[in-house]
Amino acid sequence: MANTTFSGPILAGTIKNTTGTTVGSDMKNTGYVLMAQTVAVDQTATGTSTDIIIPANSQLVAADLYVSVVWSGGASTTGLGYVGDATAFTAAGAIAGGTLGIIKITAGANKARVDAWADIGTTDRRILLTNTNTGAGVGWLTVRYIQNVNVG
């Protein structure tokens, strides 16, 4: 199957602008298309720059760590950020890599991290997974985002 690349952001819907007050005929109903990137990750290094690059002004919607071999060693945790700020999206060690399965990643109760998820900033961000220690962990990281929604 072939892939098609768009420069985005991609909007979908039938009415681009609101010109009146009637739902379905003259009120905007377009929305941004949800994007996702997935990359294989492991615990062989403490700081792992991924090949996931999130475009500037994007909003992170969800992130999951698919653990197929549990993180091991003195601590079985990891954290999510970007190159330049390893704790931008989660606290250090906030992700339980020592659990087999699909681990939901959240910002936690921290305003700066919630704000970083809402809008990653004015430059593209290379996603960074920071392991607490090295070990045998293996899995996939999936990050879902809305491109250039610019809510910040």
Identity of residue 34: L
In the prediction, which pLDDT does 78 show?
95
| Pairing state between β 11-12 and 138-146 | unpaired
The domain spans of the chain are: 34-146
What pLDDT, in 10s, does the model give residues 66-110? 999 999 998 999 999 999 999 999 999 999 999 999 999 999 999
CATH of domain 34-146: 2.60.120
What pLDDT, in 10s, does the model give residues 118-147? 999 999 999 999 999 999 999 999 999 999
What lies within 8 Å, CB to CB, of 72 at 6+ separation is 43, 98, 135, 136, 137
Helix (H, G, I), strand (E, B) or coil at 151: coil
